[in-house]
Amino acid sequence: MPLLVMKFGGTSVADLDRIANAAEKVKREVDRGYDVIVIVSAMSGKTNELVGWVEQTSPLFDAREYDAVVSSGENVTAGLMALRLQEMDVPARSWQGWQVPLQTTSAHSSARIEDIPRANLDRKFAEGMKVAVVAGFQGVSPEGRITTLGRGGSDTTAVAFAAAFEAERCDIYTDVDGVYTTDPRIEDKARKLEKIAFEEMLELASLGAKVLQTRSVELAMRYKVRLRVLSSFEDNDDNAGTLVCAEEDIVESNVVAGVAYSRDEAKMTLISVADRPGIAAAIFGPLSEAGVNVDMIVQNISEEGRTDMTFSCPVDQVARAERAMNGARDKGEIQFSELVADTDVAKVSVVGIGMRSHAGVAARMFAALSQEGINIKVITTSEIKISVLIDRKYMELAVQALHDTFELDKAA
Ligand code: ADP
Ligand code: ASP
Ligand code: MG
């Protein structure tokens, strides 16, 4: 029997009516002859509420209990979706992560999927179950404890199931009708893409476009999963949404495929550190041990053996970074005169595989930002992306200016 994976995000299962609407879409695929694995998120807002409860109860929480609490939103929607389908005479059963079992590492709150043994679900499909509704975002560690896959992790659950069960396609149903040239909520002229290459989607996701979790794109690329993003609120035909696919399957594309942003960044500068061999290791070692996700790094010009070292990290990790740096100074591992945190910055990036063969993208990007009077604080580049750190208050303006400059509203 051909099999599809259909994933419904938080807004798509936000209340009972929306669950019923999603169930109709599932039934349509069952009627067309598919077995279906449905992956559900928690109702929108629920996971944030659960995270808040954990933080209020225990600011330095035990990550195992964090996972026990924040994974629970998906349990509710999985059960409700199975019940709704049963009411529609579709043989359906819900599964929590541990029941499948979806096996993960023990890295609580950001676990990675290790394996999805097929036997349990296969047996049920063979007995006549048409739909397995699986709670997204959660799994079980080798120690037998509940884990979660990081925020937005249901996308990754969906792609991992599609790979394990060799699904014909993995459809990600969400509150937009596809992947756009940038977030359509901050740029009216954003254009929906019919197709986007895995590499570009991977960069956009890791640079902040939350339409797909980064890890889900990595898995889809590795296991060659046909991945589609489409609307749960519209009637979709077979060509609806955006297909995330191999570069070779895209005939024409713009040099820049899209613009991504990440609002909650911080820029940290260590003033006057010794410019000596090993200094970068002495700084970034303790930051990594403290779990700080350092992104951009710049070492400033050295004067008389001293230099300033700047790095960026998520704004909610500033306290952790400060603790790690002050700790390293107390232990005599590094010396610096001051640690300055700028917590009002955002990162804006342009992404496109066309950059490999086209020069001048950086120059056009910097000119567009300069025309708007936006000061660039840090720059990083890779083969297919350029990112800048700017004042957060200019973030939307920057996204719009870059969208205009690269004429992303027009197809290639
Ligand atoms: P879900 O709850 O279905 O997982 P998310 O909120 O995680 O949905 O992701 C969908 C959101 O991603 C959209 O509402 C949109 O605001 C945002 N988004 C950011 N960048 C893009 C982009 N390039 N294309 C489409 N949506 C984007
Ligand atoms: N409910 C989880 C979150 O909000 C997982 C997901 O929706 O993908 O992050
Ligand atoms: Mg999401």
pLDDT in tens, 184-212: 999 999 999 999 999 999 999 999 999 99
Predicted pLDDT of residue 115: 98
Q: What is the pLDDT of residues 325-346, one digit of tens each?
A: 999 999 999 999 999 999 999 9
Q: What is the pLDDT of residues 344-384, one digit of tens each?
A: 999 999 999 999 988 899 999 999 999 999 999 999 999 99
12, two tokens: 């798509």
The set of residues, in sequence order, having a beta carbon less than 8 Å from that of 289 and lying 6+ positions away, is 324
Q: What is the pLDDT of residues 263-312, one digit of tens each?
A: 999 999 999 999 889 999 999 999 999 989 999 999 888 788 899 999 99
> 358 C-alpha to center of ligand 2: Å?
37
**33 residue type, one letter:** G
Report residues whose beta carbon is within 6 angstroms of any ligand 1 atom.
Answer: 9-12, 41, 152, 174-176, 179-180, 182-185, 204, 209-211, 258
pLDDT tops 90 at residue 98? yes
Please count the CA atoms within 13 angstroms of the CA of 87 that sit on its side-chain side. 11
- The span from the CA of 397 to the CA of 6, in Å, is 35
Mean pLDDT across 75-102: 98
Predicted pLDDT of residue 59: 83
Predicted pLDDT of residue 239: 80
Mean pLDDT, all residues of the chain = 96
Predicted pLDDT of residue 378: 94
Mean pLDDT across 11-32: 98
Hunting for tokens 């994933």 — which residue is that? 7
User: Long-range contacts: 314-321, Cβ < 8 Å, 24+?
Assistant: 314/264, 314/265, 314/266, 315/264, 315/265, 315/266, 315/343, 316/264, 317/266, 317/291, 317/292, 317/293, 318/266, 318/268, 318/343, 320/290, 320/291, 320/292, 321/266, 321/268, 321/287, 321/290, 321/292
pTM: 0.94
> Looking at the DSSP assignment, which residues form a beta bridge with residue 267?
312, 342
- The span from the CA of 40 to the CA of 8, in Å, is 5
Predicted pLDDT of residue 60: 81
Hunting for tokens 């120690």 — which residue is that? 143
For ligand 2, pick from 154, 216, 232 the residue to mutate: most ligand atoms within 8 Å of CB: 154
Residue percentage of the chain with pLDDT more than 70: 100
Pocket lining: 136 vs ligand 2, CB cutoff 6 Å: yes
Q: What is the pLDDT of residues 102-135, one digit of tens each?
A: 999 999 999 999 999 999 999 999 999 999 999 9
Q: What is the pLDDT of residues 123-167, one digit of tens each?
A: 999 999 999 999 999 999 999 999 999 999 999 999 999 999 999
> 47 C-alpha to center of ligand 2: Å?
6
Mean pLDDT across 27-48: 98
**8 A C-beta contact, residue 286 and residue 328:** yes
